[in-house]
Structure 1
């Protein structure tokens, strides 16, 4: 009796690869996917292959090659320098573009709003109705531009973070396959799994939000100067209240970072414990130690 052959299908080209600049900027290439999913007609055949730029083989080969070059050229090789050489320039260029767009939309919008409100002031007669409509249109377009570029840039930041995550994960996996047996005994499989599933994922978060760490304070300084010019010293009171909340938020973030560090350590301990139990499961069953070890697992998970 012949075995039934598996159904094979050829996946289509990813719609982002054939989308033009306008379609990518407005995310129009995603509409067919959303419509199919909305109609409950989305099956495995509708899945697209990964983008070529997200290929683990390509990114892993490039990172491995640059890492070998770094080892030859430097006595103290640095992963940061290697990642900067691969993704740093593009990431900085996106950051500068984000800064310019943020400054433009943040400061032009209140200026246009100030001019628009002058139209309703009986003492101001220099602004016509047509000019007021043009200013109102400019306010709408500035807010629309901010929505579009924010999502577009965050998509690019996330894409770069995913590339770094894929490249580092590939390098760690290849290194683990080449380790000697004596070296493997110093590390557990659980530590490797935790390194690939939790630690490498932090690159994704850093790339998505790092630019806000320096653009935010710069916007605050420029905004303070703008408020001082427009409103005078009375703006300082509102800024002091905002400054107080910044200190509270910084304390909260620091506390959250400490808690995440504790969680990471406990996760390492739990995965190491589970790995040891799985390796010695025959001995545990032979001596009927299931309940004591299940209690240990319960405590570590709790």
Structure 2
């Protein structure tokens, strides 16, 4: 809801924070310190940053949505997000690619191998060189951690802005929906509480998947330079899990859509039950509605169980393939008559440590999550494509002197069932009461849904204000 009386708050220190301030989160120290001394109050909350304001995000997304409707036969929220946040997403992705791959994995693994050669008998590495290697290991960790925390806040901020824009779009859409019997408002509740809520981590998840495969080939090359063709034995096992995870991700997306449909139906029945609570109590229908909701919830949980089984299989594949690939790689290297040194052992461990994040985190979590994100964006897009109430032909219908509703032989069919047939009447301006037995279809359908529903047969002649 819009509110003209807005409270002026303290300026957000993040808006003018410098680079050093941002890296160390110094701008958040004051509010954290206040929270340690007492409970935070509304007066302690800073002013919302301009790029997080719902009005600006809604205005930008509305413009992009209208552009998408005009230029594309199949509008997509994903394309809109790319235009709104694409450059920011790409810049942070390049930064995390350099920090994680070149500093966190590649440099750290090579330097660790050089450092461990100092402890081998008869080594040529001096103490000074060993200290330099140790300093390099510490420096790499510090750089990665400093950047990683700032990166997570930045990409989650992108997800938060996606949430704000989509929530506002869905809310405004609800105000313009017609009353077709498709449980539109129940769908809106599910979309806001489940689909949009998942968008917070979408940017981070996408980056991890994009980084994962280049990381795999870089670390494979490093292993190849140390142990030769033996590295390919472990890599083959790792690559064999990729199509399996992709297939499971497709299945998860499919069942995610089915789960959302069951949730919509359950929310619809619950809303109808709460709305008609007096009638339910009067006719003692509590048991019937309770059983109906239980059945809907049971169907929903049945599909959810399949989704979580699939996720567990993906996670198990990642955990087992990482360890099995490392075992096969070392076994192959020794079987070829080679000797494992400390440097080679720690390089292989470091490379498979990078593989571990790919196999136990990026693919098991990333692929199912991206499948769910895809399903969520599809549901949001379909909701925004729903039919809206037509705009009146005149400016102000409330000032009309002669207002009538004229129906001639109208018939309405909803979901294959005829709810009104052969209705002809003329309603003049003023209060008109449609009477009928308690819960009658005629009173409910006519009073709540008829005026905005397309007719199968007959005519509806609205009288708008005269200009």
TM-score (norm 1): 0.84
Q: Find 2:47's aligned residue among 38, 46, 49.
A: 49
Q: Are the aligned partners of 2:68 and 2:76 in contact in 1 as well (CA < 8 Å)?
A: yes
**Larger helix percent:** 1
Distance 1:295 1:241, change over 3 A: same
Deviation digits for residues 72-129 of structure 1, max 9, x if unmatched? Answer: 344554433322111112212221222222221211111112222233344333x433
Deviation at 1:215, TM superposition (A): 1.2
The residue that corresponds to 1:276 in the other structure is: 272
- Alignment gaps of 5+ in structure 1: 1-7
The residue that corresponds to 1:111 in the other structure is: 110
Distance 1:186 1:299, change over 3 A: closer
Measure, in 2, the Cα distance between the counterparts of 1:242 and 1:31.
44
Q: Are the aligned partners of 2:183 and 2:264 in contact in 1 as well (CA < 8 Å)?
A: no
Q: Find 1:206's aligned residue among 183, 202, 207.
A: 202
Q: Find 1:132's aligned residue among 130, 134, 139.
A: 130
Measure, in 1, the Cα distance between the counterparts of 2:102 and 2:48.
35
Q: Are the aligned partners of 1:9 and 1:45 in contact in 2 as well (CA < 8 Å)?
A: no
Distance 1:35 1:242, change over 3 A: farther
Deviation digits for residues 151-180 of structure 1, max 9, x if unmatched? Answer: 22222111111111211221222122123x
Q: Are the aligned partners of 2:9 and 2:46 in contact in 1 as well (CA < 8 Å)?
A: yes
Deviation at 1:45, TM superposition (A): 2.6
Please give the residue correspondences for 1:44-123 in structure 2 after superposition, counting only pairs within 5 Å. 44-105=42-103, 106-123=105-122
Greater shift, 252-261 or 269-278, is seen at: 252-261
Deviation at 1:273, TM superposition (A): 0.9
Does structure 1 residue 191 correspond to structure 2 residue 190? no
Greater shift, 246-255 or 128-137, is seen at: 246-255
Greater shift, 22-31 or 67-76, is seen at: 67-76
The residue that corresponds to 1:3 in the other structure is: none
Query: Counterpart of 1:16 in 2: which secondary structure?
Result: helix
The residue that corresponds to 2:231 in the other structure is: 235
Q: Find 1:149's aligned residue among 141, 147, 150.
A: 147
**Larger strand percent:** 2
Q: CA RMSD in A?
A: 2.8
Distance 1:40 1:138, change over 3 A: same
Deviation at 1:64, TM superposition (A): 0.7
Deviation at 1:59, TM superposition (A): 0.2
Query: Counterpart of 2:148 in 1: which secondary structure?
Result: helix
Measure, in 1, the Cα distance between the counterparts of 2:8 and 2:87.
36
TM-score (norm 2): 0.56
Query: Counterpart of 2:29 in 1: which secondary structure?
Result: helix
Does structure 1 residue 38 correspond to structure 2 residue 33? no
Distance 1:253 1:54, change over 3 A: same
- Alignment gaps of 5+ in structure 2: 1-5, 299-467
Query: Counterpart of 2:14 in 1: which secondary structure?
Result: coil
Deviation at 1:227, TM superposition (A): 0.3
